[in-house]
Amino acid sequence: MINSQRLAERFTMLAQIDSESRHEAQVAGEIEKILIGMGAVVRYDTAKEKTGGDCSNLVAKFAGNRQVRPLFLSGHMDTVVPGKGVNVTFADGVFKSDGTTILGSDDKSAIAIILEVMDVVKENNLPCPPVEIIFTVCEEIGLLGAKHFDLSLIDAKFGYILDSTDTEGIVTRAPAANKIFITMHGRAAHAGAAPEKGVSAIYAAARAISQLELGRIDSETTCNLGIITGGMATNIIPEKVEIKGEARSHDLEKLSAVTNNIVKAFAETARDLQGEDTVPRAETVVENDFPNTAIPEDHEAVVLARKAAGNLGRTLESKTIGGGADANVFFGQGIVAGVLGTGMTDVHTVNESIALKDMEDTARLVLEILQVHAAGDNA
């Protein structure tokens, strides 16, 4: 029942609309028109007031024709850079860009798939539960749309986000993450005339970093210092250096321990290097970026998806990943979202691609999920 030509044409149309983060209004307008044409009730929340973008999260509701609990389907409307002027090519069943931009299958493949599924339901008058669709903004720049999503706009307590690569898996575990901001203060001085009067913030920061274990700590935990900025000129002892990093773990105690170790290393290094005054001095701010996701194997979202896959002669394995998604934010707010794959590959690069067959397979899975849930037969 999936209309391959319509799916392909719609994905191409969506991918070729510019929608880098904070600039999703145009693509949202096109999506809104399609949804209203299907009979959905469409609303926006007020997220743009907090994200600084030109568009808020879009919510569409379909009443369904079966008296079962609602579920939601979700994807995000924004893309990474370079995402302006995307020119989609299609050959041998695979979509690509022309090589000068990303393709945008992350996550416009999700949007195209969800719209196709709802078209098929309407055209064939299929059994359908109440469906709530959430298309978020600013996912690529810190899950900002999900973080500022107005939960009062939905009734569903579980659903599926299409924002992964593996079409044979459902993501049930993802780590929590902390952002770590460190400022090391020193004292400026002329590096040639009076270096002894200065205290190098860069040197102090380097000493602290050299004590840290970075990268993969264990199978559940990683940490990284990704941005370092500081100094003004080669002939000035650097007065300040700023470091931005993160720590992630599926285990919250490990996350706390790794984070604290980073903070401690900078504080103790600064203290050890201090003379009679208060420099070098470390200031550290830790922010929770997103909570972890840990969906039990017997949760309805997992059981339902696996049954639907089985009906299609497929298997669906639970997956543990190291990245974050809107699902993490929703999980922290009591909303369970299994993350399904659409087949996108090499995302966030100009080599990004996606096969139409993978999109079709995901559409069939989502359609079957709706059918099984509408029947009330999730065992």
pLDDT (tens place) for every residue of the chain, 379 residues total: 999 999 999 999 999 999 999 999 999 999 999 999 999 999 999 999 999 999 999 999 999 999 999 999 999 999 999 999 999 999 999 999 999 999 999 999 999 999 999 999 999 999 999 999 999 999 999 999 999 999 999 999 999 999 999 999 999 999 999 999 999 999 999 999 999 999 999 999 999 999 999 999 999 999 999 999 999 999 999 999 999 999 999 999 999 999 999 999 999 999 999 987 889 999 999 999 999 999 999 999 999 999 999 999 999 999 999 999 999 999 999 999 999 999 999 999 999 999 999 999 999 999 999 999 999 855 4
Query: What does the pLDDT read at residue 275?
Result: 81
pTM of the predicted structure, to 2 decimals? 0.94
Q: What element of type H or E holds 358?
A: helix 356-375
Distance CA 199, CA 188 (A): 7
Positions annotated as catalytic residues are 78, 139
**Could you tell me where in the chain the CATH 3.30.70.360 domains are found?**
176-290
The pairs formed by 30-38 with CB atoms below 8 angstroms and a separation of 24 or more are 31/58, 31/77, 31/111, 31/115, 31/135, 32/58, 32/60, 34/10, 34/115, 35/60, 35/115, 35/118, 35/133, 38/62, 38/115, 38/118, 38/119, 38/122
Model confidence pLDDT, tens digit, residues 63-86: 999 999 999 999 999 999 999 999
**Could you tell me where in the chain the CATH 3.40.630.10 domains are found?**
4-174+292-375
Distance CA 105, CA 337 (A): 20
Distance CA 95, CA 60 (A): 27
Query: What does the pLDDT read at residue 379?
Result: 47
Question: So what's the architecture of 4-174+292-375 in CATH?
Answer: 3-Layer(aba) Sandwich (3.40)
DSSP letter for 349, please: S
Query: What does the pLDDT read at residue 378?
Result: 55
Query: What does the pLDDT read at residue 377?
Result: 59
DSSP letter for 195, please: G
Select the CATH number that applies to the domain covering 176-290 from these four: 3.40.50.1220, 3.50.50.60, 2.60.40.10, 3.30.70.360.
3.30.70.360
Are residues 335 and 134 in contact, defined by beta-carbon separation less than 8 angstroms?
no
Per-residue tokens: 38 = 């299907």
Distance CA 369, CA 300 (A): 11
Parallel/antiparallel/unpaired status of strands 293-294 and 169-174 = antiparallel
Which residues are CB-contacts of 234 (< 8 A; sequence separation ≥ 6)?
A: 191
Are residues 337 and 326 in contact, defined by beta-carbon separation less than 8 angstroms?
yes
Strand extents, DSSP E, the chain: 41-44, 58-62, 71-76, 89-91, 94-96, 131-136, 158-164, 169-174, 176-185, 215-218, 221-230, 240-249, 281-290, 293-294, 317-320, 336-341, 353-355
Distance CA 265, CA 263 (A): 6
Query: What does the pLDDT read at residue 277?
Result: 84
For the chain, what is the mean pLDDT? 97
